[in-house]
């Protein structure tokens, strides 16, 4: 027994030494000019990386690095015409008549398996995106393109059903060119679950390396990329479960990037970390209270409160949107001049809106017969109190907070509001079935006003995302004209008239447009963020040699 004790300690010591040596194991060190590892605390984990099958935000960020577009929108985010677009996969393009667009593929472009990228890939991509079996979320945006064909191996021809200002934008923005030789054999109705979606082979500045489910996706720069070697060698996306955990990783120097800090509290936390630099940029979402203009649960009947335009206007005028934004969001948010995010080029603070005026709001309600006849603090008409329920997603702390603030503002003019917090799926079901009075909703815009605004606010959107069933022939007409206007100035004027029309009708209260703030490690240089897709210019980012830290020099 006595002799066994030292042996045991000996064994333990050996184990500890081996573990220590293992911990000190030397790795190969990177000495190349593009050394660098960028760890991104991403918004969430995607289900697939096949661009045609998903509109997940993280999948889009990864796709920016793996799959090229023919051309991409510039920093101006001007979606009209083609002058502000940058060539990417297409070396150049020309118009062959009013509704035919010809792209010339860069002959240097290669898939990461070595195959050349051809016009056949472009035609195949369009065919797949518009195939109902693929169920691509971008299919609707491509409806005005009639065909895409390969004239020769490097020439792709787009033909449109009609001529309109955003033809070029539609041709290049929604589709990422896919490898026909790898996907042709995959049945179209199985694209969502295709193994390619978890091990993609692209043609972009980064190659796919690995995907550890629930943990990380790793990409490595393609040093032979025909548009120039990316500045940072490795990009690793981690999947923190919520924004708070993501910011913790950023602050603790275990992540280099968080592209959206979202709330003022998280921004302040990130600001407190000395290695983090903040980059504000316009956001692509706006939030509003949507009034259901049809009866709750019965879309055939008008809503007893919100079908009256004057009542909706009164409710809108009762809300001090500027103060709400200032108190809840500080510099991160702005009051939108209509149904738009700050990303859109039609944003104009001069657009006419209903003022904050509780006196006028009360007058409107009195005029419509909504008075406090029984002095209980709540207005009533024909024995019915002026009360309604507002649904809000339980997952959004900000919108829950806003619901309570709105409740108080409405109370001041004698309107009683009850709040229902629902999980997003249940909330969507209520919206689709029209089973709600009012809802606090958020919408994301792509850079074009044409798709988002018409989808959510015109009569054509009823049955789709126009959940409040707002219908105004005048608004519809103005939107149609704005979409088909031949110049950007003319289009902007028409959009302004359309937005002023919807503002006057008040089918919703447009509460705030969120700005974005990215937190990025201060050793990263040449950070350029295009607001509609923060990672689109990632290949231009650099980590100067003298600022590199240990993780930048690690080679696998």
Partner 1 sequence: MMAWLLRRLVASVAIIFAVVTFVFVLIHLAPGEPCFAGGENFTDPEICRLLVRQFGLDQPILVQYWRYLVELVRGNLGYSFALHRPVGDAIADTVPFTLQLAGTALLLDFTLGLGLGIYQALRANRLPDVVLGNVTLFVYSLPTFWLALILLFLFGEKLRLFPVGGASDPILCPTVDSLYCLVDRIWHLVLPAATLGLVGAAGTARFQRAAMLEIAQQDFVRTARAKGLPEPRVVLRHQLRNALLSSITRFGLTFPFLLTGAVLVETIFALPGMGRLTVDAILQRDYAVVTATALIASAMVVTGSLIADILLALADPRIRVHEDAALDIVTA
Indicate whether 215 belongs to the interface with partner 1 (CB under 8 A). Answer: yes
Residues 261-290 that bind partner 1 (CB under 8 A): none
Which residues in 65-104 contact partner 1 (CB under 8 A)? none
Q: Binding to partner 1 by residue 1, rule CB under 8 A? A: no
Nearer to partner 1, 48 or 353 (CB): 48
Residue 423 sits in the site that holds partner 1 (CB under 8 A): yes
CB 118 within 8 A of CB 105: yes
Residues 380, 369: Cα–Cα separation, whole Å: 8
Minimum gap (Å) between residue 22 Cβ and partner 1: 3
Residue 69 has a CB neighbour count (10 Å cut-off) of 23
Strand partners, 288: 441, 510
Residue pointed to by tokens 């787009």: 158
Residues facing residue 519 across a β-bridge = 258, 278
Nearer to partner 1, 197 or 385 (CB): 197
Among residues 241, 297, 369, 544, the one that binds partner 1 under rule CB under 8 A: 241
CA-to-CA distance for 436 and 419, rounded, in angstroms? 11
Q: Which is nearer to partner 1, 7 or 28 (CB)?
A: 28
Q: Is 107 in the site for partner 1 (CB under 8 A)?
A: no
Q: Which of residues 453-512 bind partner 1 (CB under 8 A)?
A: 455-456, 463-465
Long-range contacts, stretch 4-8, CB < 8 angstroms, 24+ apart:
none
**Which of 136, 134, 145, 138 shows the shortest CA–CA distance to 171?**
145
The footprint of partner 1 on residues 166-195 (CB under 8 A) is 189, 192-193
60 makes contact with partner 1 (CB under 8 A): no
240/414 with CB nearer partner 1: 240
Tell me the backbone φ, ψ of residue 20, rounded to 5 degrees: -65, -40
Residues from 331 through 390 that contact partner 1 (CB under 8 A): none
Out of 253, 372, 480, 525, the only residue in the binding site for partner 1 (CB under 8 A) is: 253
CA-only gyration radius of the chain, Å: 27
**Quick one: which segment of 78-86, 326-334, 351-359, 438-446 binds partner 1 (CB under 8 A)?**
438-446
- Of the candidate residues 299, 444, 484, 548, the single one contacting partner 1 (CB under 8 A): 444
With CB under 8 A as the contact rule, the residue among 238, 496, 521, 523 that binds partner 1 is 238
Note whether 245 binds partner 1 by CB under 8 A. Answer: yes
Stretch that binds partner 1, among 22-30, 175-183, 260-268, 523-531 (CB under 8 A): 22-30
Please choose, out of 18-26, 67-75, 292-300, 313-321, the segment that lies near partner 1 by the rule CB under 8 A: 18-26
User: Facing residues of 444 across strands?
Assistant: 285
Nearest distance, CB of residue 338 and partner 1, angstroms: 18
- Of 99, 147, 153, 248, the one binding partner 1 by CB under 8 A: 248
Closest CA relative to residue 518, chosen from 215, 243, 231, 230: 243
* Helix, strand, coil content of the chain in percent (nearest 5): 35, 25, 40
Pairing state between β 206-212 and 85-87? unpaired
Beta strands in 425-491 (DSSP E): 438-444
429 lies in the site for partner 1, by CB under 8 A? yes
Q: Distance between CA 224 and CA 361 in Å, rounded?
A: 64
Contact pattern from residue 526 through residue 555 relative to partner 1, giving x for each residue in contact according to CB under 8 A and a dash for the rest: -------------------------x--x-
Task: Specify the residue, 132 or 359, whose C-beta has the smaller distance to partner 1.
Answer: 132
Regarding 18 and contact with partner 1 (CB under 8 A), the answer is: yes
Residue 466's nearest CA partner among 503, 406, 510, 508 is 508
176 vs 443, which CB is nearer to partner 1? Answer: 443
CB contact set of 507 (below 8 Å; sequence gap of 6+): 290, 291, 293, 312, 457, 468, 470
Tokens encoding 135? 């169920």
Residue 86 or 215: the one with the smaller Cβ distance to partner 1 is 215
Q: Is the dihedral of CA 339, 342, 345, 350 positive or negative?
A: positive
Q: Does 55 bind partner 1 (CB under 8 A)?
A: yes
Q: Judged by CB, which is closer to partner 1: 414, or 447? A: 447
State phi, psi for 466 to the nearest 5 degrees: -85, 75
Bridge partners of 393, per DSSP, are 422
Strands (E), 411-491: 416-422, 438-444
Query: Exactly one of 6, 21, 408, 546 binds partner 1 (CB under 8 A); which one?
Result: 21
* Helical packing angle, 321-329 and 397-412, nearest 10°: 140
Based on CB atoms, which residue is closest to partner 1, 99 or 465? 465
Measured torsion, CA atoms of residues 138, 139, 140, 146, in degrees rounded to the nearest 10? 130
Residue 251 as a binder of partner 1 (CB under 8 A): the answer is yes
CB of 426 to partner 1, least distance (A): 4
- The contact pattern for partner 1, residues 321-340, with x = CB under 8 A and - = no contact, is --------------------
Binding residue for partner 1, selected from 157, 319, 417, 439, defined by CB under 8 A: 439
Residues of this chain, 117-156, that bind partner 1 according to CB under 8 A: 132-133, 135-137, 139-140
């Amino acid at each position: 027994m006595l002799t066994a004790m030292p042996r045991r300690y000996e064994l333990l010591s050996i184990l500890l030494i081996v573990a220590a040596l293992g911990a000190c194991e030397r790795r190969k060190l990177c000495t190349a000019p593009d050394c660098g590892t960028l760890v991104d605390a991403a918004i969430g984990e995607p289900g697939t990386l096949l661009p045609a099958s998903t509109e997940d935000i993280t999948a889009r960020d990864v796709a920016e690095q793996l799959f090229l577009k023919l051309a991409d929108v510039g920093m101006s985010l001007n979606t009209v015409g083609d002058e502000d677009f940058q060539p990417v996969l297409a070396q150049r393009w020309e118009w062959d008549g009013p509704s035919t667009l010809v792209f010339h593929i860069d002959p240097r472009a290669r898939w990461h398996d070595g195959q050349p990228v051809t016009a056949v890939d472009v035609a195949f991509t369009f065919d797949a995106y518009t195939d109902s079996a693929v169920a691509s979320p971008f299919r609707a945006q491509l409806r005005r393109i009639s065909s895409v064909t390969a004239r020769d191996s490097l020439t792709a021809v787009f033909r449109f059903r009609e001529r309109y200002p955003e033809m070029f934008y539609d041709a290049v923005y929604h589709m990422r060119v896919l490898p026909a030789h790898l996907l042709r054999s995959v049945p179209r109705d199985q694209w969502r679950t295709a193994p390619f979606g978890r091990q993609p082979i692209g043609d972009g500045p980064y190659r796919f390396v690995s995907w550890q489910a629930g943990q990380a996706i790793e990409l490595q720069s393609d040093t032979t990329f025909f548009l120039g070697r990316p500045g940072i060698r490795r990009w690793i996306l981690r999947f923190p479960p919520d924004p708070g955990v993501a910011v913790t990783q950023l602050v603790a120097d275990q992540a280099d990037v968080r592209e959206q800090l979202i709330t003022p509290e998280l921004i302040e936390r990130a600001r407190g970390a000395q290695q983090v630099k903040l980059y504000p940029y316009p956001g692509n979402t706006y939030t509003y209270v949507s009034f259901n203009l049809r009866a709750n649960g019965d879309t055939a009947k008008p809503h007893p409160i919100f079908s009256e335009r004057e009542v909706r206007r009164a409710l809108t005028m009762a809300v001090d949107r500027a103060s709400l934004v200032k108190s809840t969001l500080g510099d991160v948010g702005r009051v939108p001049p209509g149904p738009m995010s700050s990303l859109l080029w039609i944003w104009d603070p001069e657009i006419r809106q209903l003022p904050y005026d509780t006196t006028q709001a009360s007058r409107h309600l009195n005029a419509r017969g909504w008075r406090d006849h029984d002095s209980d603090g709540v207005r009533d008409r024909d024995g019915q109190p002026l009360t309604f329920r507002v649904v809000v997603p339980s997952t959004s702390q900000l919108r829950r907070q806003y619901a309570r603030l709105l409740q108080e503002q409405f109370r001041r003019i004698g309107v009683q509001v009850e709040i229902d917090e629902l999980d997003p799926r249940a909330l969507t079901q209520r919206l689709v079935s029209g089973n709600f009075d009012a809802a606090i909703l958020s919408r994301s815009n792509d850079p074009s006003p044409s798709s988002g605004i018409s989808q959510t606010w015109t009569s054509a959107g009823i049955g789709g995302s126009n959940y409040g069933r707002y219908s105004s022939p005048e608004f519809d007409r103005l939107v149609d004209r704005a979409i088909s206007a031949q110049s950007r100035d003319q289009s902007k004027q028409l959009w302004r008239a359309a937005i002023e029309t919807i503002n006057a009708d008040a089918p919703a209260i447009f509460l705030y447009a969120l700005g974005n703030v990215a937190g990025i490690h201060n050793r990263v240089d040449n950070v350029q963020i295009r607001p509609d897709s923060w990672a689109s210019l990632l290949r231009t980012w650099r980590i100067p040699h003298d600022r590199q830290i240990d993780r930048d020099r690690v080679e696998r």
